[in-house]
Structure 1
Amino acid sequence: MNILACMFQGGGNVPLIVPILQELAARGHRVRVMAGPGVRHSRLPISASLLQRISDIGAELVRFDEPEVHPFDEGRYSERPLIASWTPASFRSPQREARTAVWAPAWSRNVADELRREKADVVVADFVLLGALVAAEAARIPSVALMHTIYPWPVAGGPPYGPGYAPKAGLSGFCRDVIGRAIVDRLWIRNALSPLNSARLLSGLQAVRSPLQQYGTAARVLVLVSPAFDWPAPRFPANVRHVGTPEDRSGPIKPSEDWLTEGTGPLVVVSLSTLDQGQSGTLRKILAALADLPVRALVTLGPALEAGQFEPPANVRLVDFVPHDLVLPNAHALVTQCGIGTVTKSLRHGVPMVCLPLVGDQHDNAARVAARHAGIRLPANAGCGDIRSAIMRVLQDESFQQGALALRSAMLSDGAPAHQAADQIEQAARSLDGDRSG
């Protein structure tokens, strides 16, 4: 098959999507990848490492023409709060994420141009790129959206996305969730509907009443999360499939690393975001919390942080990068912001967590970890004492490891997530009318 894949420069989305494209290429399909810059407020440029990864998996890079004026600067689509100038603090993540729809016209134009240059059997797009789904719909080509998060759209019977709510029984839980889902709906309509409909009208399609309707046009919406981890919902849309979180095994450790033999005591791994999400202050509190604990700790800084910013205590080692699959089998606890890729890797090794979520889906991921007793969730402003106590609780209370191991066992039934995703993409491409019943 001829597959056109669309993705943008981000953090956690890249290592979850690339293994799927690699699996498709390994099956003999021709994979063309349109890679664009970051669509969030960070405005990340396309990195050399992303371009290299596209080349390494045997895919072909195709051109993305960036608009002359950045969509955030264009002035046509300003960010709109829930009411007047106010949005509840716990729902600001959905508001910021809805704003990424300002890229819809640029992506619909680029994908349409590429499809005119050369047809594709299926368009596979990061779910954030609504414009790519618009172009596929206009060209009458099946599309597949790759959702690198827990399922975020309002579903009857489930908590709303954003605040990190756990399911709550009774009338109060019902009212909380109905109001929360209505808030998410309104934020998406206020921030994403206008640019999405601009892209649709320019593509010759009728306007929609809600941005979330665009996902109904996809043959598949693949949630890159285990169904054992996400909240169960009685009525997911018919085209939604949970396929599990693909494993990314890039970046081998240097042979000279000997951190596994250093120090005594249980190993605590600290792994925060690969992007700058304001985590430097959180890391300083974590380092202070670790200083007088009988543990040895390894902190992976990633590209967002520099070792010179911090003064680690004697029992802590700072490194730029260590593959999670190498270090987590030896770890007794993980301290994390709760990106879905890091959480999944921790659970695959049965390692309990201390969760300090900051942005995006991290609050909702942390809620799921805590609800399954696979770790402890703390607020972003937690002090050193609270962090220290949480680390010791996770290390000393075996029930947290049992909770993590229980999730690990349930997630093993997912099989190989990249393989499952590739199967679903093949099915979608072979359904000439985009049938969603496969």
Structure 2
Amino acid sequence: MQTALLFPGQGSQYIGMGQELFTSSLLARRTFEEASEILGNSVSKLCFQGDLAELTRTEYAQPCILTVGIAAFRVLMEKTELNPVYLAGHSLGEITALTASGALHFADAIRLVRLRGMLMRDAQMQRAGSMLAVHGLSSQVIEKECREPEFRGQVVISNLNSSRQTVVSGYMDALSMIQNRFVALGGYVTPLQVGGAFHSPLMKDAAMKLYDELSCMRFHPMRYSVLSNVTALPYPSETCIPSFLSEQMVEKVHWQGCVQFLMERQINNLIEVGPGSVLSNMLRRERPESCLIHPTDKKEDWQKLMKDRAPKGTENAPYARYLKAALCARNHNIHVETSDYLEEVAGSFRELERLAKSEEFAGGNDKALKALKHILDCKMTPAPQRGDILSHIAEEGVVQHV
């Protein structure tokens, strides 16, 4: 089954995002630390302990969401042998996808999205606007309303997210008025947690300044094919990045087109990499029955993802190796009573059996290694044999440091 990775954009932020990854993965912690060093403030504090109003500020939300997305991507690639056919990101998520593809270094991407957020913030200060998600009305009906004289040039369609959801951007007063029109037509309207009228002409000055910055940056060949929000097609090459990313700020996000592109090519394993499950929830209403959708936001999401990737009927192979090694190791402790020995090792064996039959995400390797070492201590395993056992497990990719 072919896989695509999907990266969420602004609006997916919440206090606590990425905290389980940060706690359970050294690689994720290093990603947060790298971003914090570049930005000069603690990304983990903003994500875990900050105020939602502060985190929602565009200049903070964008670097934080990108950091959580790349941390999740790195952990995903560390834990699996995935070789995604396509990457796609929603708005800001397109930059996360380009970073995951190798087109941008993470440090450059953090600086870029900080600038992007600041430019959007400044545009908002000059011409205040916002965004509304409209459900239950077709994009054609919404477009017709936006073209009415009182709304022309004031409100535009900014996101074609799905057949059931279209987003509009515009000036605050105009949005308030057109919201009543949408409700009268049978629609349901939700204000978005964003700090401006993104993907609209109100971002024109910001888009021009972003293009100037992008034109000075160095990009690299992509390891994975990335879809553009502007065209709903793969980037022809990294040379298109400046024009596509700057154009994206003032044009519609064709997310529905990106999903349709994947569906037409029977990409049926879709993994949302980053905070929240906004993209997953939209996909569940649109996808074919054969399509698998996995968010990576919570511990249980990772557990399900790993379980679904494992061959049916198999145990958790990495931890099963620990259990096998513990069972096969010869007992050299012949001077202790059998009952005392069994009592001493029983707890560690139960821990290994539990891990082998479950999907442990946070610290599972450390727990398994501790239990195995305790059993080897109880068996008085000589140092050479002990070293061989642990080295063998390490060679199989289970233990990172022996």
> Same-fold call, TM > 0.5?
no
- Report the TM-score when normalising by structure 2: 0.27
Asked which structure has the greater CA Rg, the reply is 2
- Report the TM-score when normalising by structure 1: 0.25
